[in-house]
Chains A and B, each alone.
Chain A
């Protein structure tokens, strides 16, 4: 995903700081106040966006532990709440056990995979036998079709598409 959120947010902060805020007349206090809050929010997003999944997972594990402890300590009078708690715990525990990479680790791993695949395509066309070249080409063309469709839908809101409604939903493409 290029450019990633970190770069996009960095450029938004810079545009606000160097162009937009200096252009707001000093007596426009409300506009200045809201522009500065916008920059503050962008700074928070810049710091948080890599960690959103880890943050949610940490909360999930913490609450799962709390819920498990509460169930263990619960008296018989709370039978209905205990049953509901156990049902939710059963859903949460496999997720809590998932080892989730950080956003940056994931990005780097995807980049490594792309580079390795690209090196093979280059090798196929440099000195590979004709059948490998043919197969590599077909495989790349097939994969690119799926990737491009996903990227077009991912960036649909930018308004560059001539017929945006024709693109599949993110649900379908990211399932």
Chain B
């Protein structure tokens, strides 16, 4: 039997204490508080296609004018956090393929669907992103917090066998086709003018201040406190160092937090990127966080000559040179080094603490997958250690 601890049945007093000690953005506070209140609940049971049709019918009847039919409901593979179904919406002779993304009882990343919804709407103005149609942020109508988006054709990696790894193995042909598009979209995210869009689910940080960075540290340190099964003094040191050294944000951008191979779709015929996916962790913050996470050794691959390629695409210096040229924004080595610690620390929290915690209560349909992801924790911790060495 797995060893259960007091964190598995959180008291209201403990939840209140966590909220007091780790003040963060309103939507994150709401999300994490909800997570803790659901924790002692029953295991998650995936919905059947019939249940999905019933809920969708009720939801869409208030939003789709005239008669419609929901058909061809199928669970989708891929993704480690959200429960996803593809379905066809038939209206007046028109047939549109859509995706329903729902939050299970617990997830390896606990997020607010309205943030994802708003960021996807905004990002679609500068890069290929699935069109988002509706959002049920608290699950009042769909039973679980959810959003509905257009289905996009494409694959995430060339077909291969074996268990999931964060390396995509694009190979020389796809690498040549994908890398220029990928860097262009990466740069576009940093320069997107988010002030022209609805960002009411975010507390935008101030440029020139580190308050937004401290709020982000509070978010993730709270998750560590809530989810970790055992202490890890290196994580404590890293959190302390991050607080003591938080730099002001020079330019506030959308930060995707998982911008890498595996999180976009491309057409196998011509390598065209058709959709950037997985916006659930999105924040407003410092672009260096996205850069540092992408540059992590976890996503590096070696090419046919043994040269290390960041994200499986390009040598590090080449990637950064292209990014600076396309974004028109500088890459500050000091900030990059700071976010190298931050992003690996944050990744280690997901892999080491949250993955095991949600497996414990059978609160996700993806127990086995998040358990597999937890195998990446030592590499994340190794990156934290490497990044801290000589700095702390």
Contact with B along A92-135 (1 / 0, CB 8 A): 00000000000010011011001101110110010000000000
How far apart are the CA atoms of A159 and B2 in the complex, in Å? 25
Question: Which A residues touch B166, using CB under 8 A?
Answer: 160
Question: Which B residues touch A3, using CB under 8 A?
Answer: 2, 229, 355-356, 359, 371, 374
CB distance from A34 to the nearest CB of B (A): 18
CB distance from A124 to the nearest CB of B (A): 9
CB distance from A127 to the nearest CB of B (A): 13
Binds A, one of B56-64, B103-111, B196-204, B381-389: B381-389
Question: In chain B, what residue has the closest Cβ to A119?
Answer: B231
Contact with A along B155-174 (1 / 0, CB 8 A): 00000001101100000000
Q: Which of these, B1, B234, B302, B374, contacts A162 with CB under 8 Å? A: B302
Binds B, one of A55-63, A76-84, A139-147: A139-147
How far apart are the CA atoms of A117 and B301 in the complex, in Å? 36
Number of A-B contacts (CB under 8 A): 121
Contact across chains for A2 and B356 when beta carbons are under 8 A apart: yes
Interface of B is mostly: helix
Contact across chains for A137 and B392 when beta carbons are under 8 A apart: yes
Contact across chains for A14 and B362 when beta carbons are under 8 A apart: yes
CB distance from A24 to the nearest CB of B (A): 16
CB distance from B367 to the nearest CB of A (A): 4
CB distance from B225 to the nearest CB of A (A): 12
Residue B129, interface by CB 8 Å: no
Residue B46, interface by CB 8 Å: yes
B residues 1-23 touching A (CB-CB < 8 Å): 1-3
Residue A86, interface by CB 8 Å: no
Residue A25, interface by CB 8 Å: no
How far apart are the CA atoms of A154 and B382 in the complex, in Å? 14
Contact across chains for A107 and B237 when beta carbons are under 8 A apart: no
Residue B125, interface by CB 8 Å: no
Known interface pairs A3-B356, A145-B385; A140-B233 also in contact (CB < 8 Å): yes
Interface size on B, residues (CB 8 A): 46
Contact across chains for A141 and B237 when beta carbons are under 8 A apart: yes
By size class, the interface of chain A is 35 or more
CB distance from A157 to the nearest CB of B (A): 9
Question: Which B residues touch A117, using CB under 8 A?
Answer: 231, 233
Contact across chains for B382 and A148 when beta carbons are under 8 A apart: yes
Residue A171, interface by CB 8 Å: no
Question: Which B residues touch A118, using CB under 8 A?
Answer: 231-233, 236
Residue B372, interface by CB 8 Å: yes
Known interface pairs A14-B367, A141-B389; A151-B231 also in contact (CB < 8 Å): no
Residue A41, interface by CB 8 Å: no
B residues 336-377 touching A (CB-CB < 8 Å): 352, 355-356, 359-360, 362, 365, 367-368, 371-372, 374-377
Question: Which A residues touch B375, using CB under 8 A?
Answer: 155, 158, 160
Residue A10, interface by CB 8 Å: yes
Q: Which of these, B2, B165, B368, contacts A160 with CB under 8 Å? A: B165
Residue B317, interface by CB 8 Å: no
Known interface pairs A118-B233, A140-B233, A159-B163; A15-B368 also in contact (CB < 8 Å): yes
Residue B378, interface by CB 8 Å: yes
How far apart are the CA atoms of A6 and B236 in the complex, in Å? 27
Residue A69, interface by CB 8 Å: no
Contact across chains for A141 and B3 when beta carbons are under 8 A apart: no
Residue B379, interface by CB 8 Å: yes
How far apart are the CA atoms of A2 and B353 in the complex, in Å? 8
Contact across chains for A144 and B371 when beta carbons are under 8 A apart: no
How far apart are the CA atoms of A110 and B232 in the complex, in Å? 11
Contact across chains for B233 and A148 when beta carbons are under 8 A apart: no
Contact across chains for B368 and A114 when beta carbons are under 8 A apart: no
Residue B240, interface by CB 8 Å: yes
Contact across chains for B378 and A10 when beta carbons are under 8 A apart: no
How far apart are the CA atoms of A10 and B1 in the complex, in Å? 8
Q: Which of these, B232, B298, B352, B367, contacts A114 with CB under 8 Å? A: B232
Known interface pairs A10-B2, A108-B3; A121-B300 also in contact (CB < 8 Å): no
Which of the listed residues B2, B166, B300, B362 has the most CB atoms from chain A within 10 Å of its own CB? B2
List 21 interface pairs A-B (beta carbons < 8 Å), by A numbering.
A2-B230, A3-B229, A7-B2, A10-B362, A104-B3, A110-B230, A111-B230, A111-B231, A114-B230, A114-B232, A119-B231, A121-B233, A140-B236, A143-B233, A144-B381, A148-B378, A152-B382, A159-B162, A160-B166, A161-B379, A162-B297
B interface vs A, CB < 8 Å? 1-3, 46, 162-163, 165-166, 229-234, 236-237, 240, 297-298, 300-302, 308, 352, 355-356, 359-360, 362, 365, 367-368, 371-372, 374-379, 381-382, 385, 388-389, 392
Sorted nearest first, the 10 A-B pairs with minimum C-beta distance are A118-B231, A158-B375, A151-B378, A11-B367, A3-B356, A144-B234, A15-B368, A114-B231, A152-B378, A6-B2
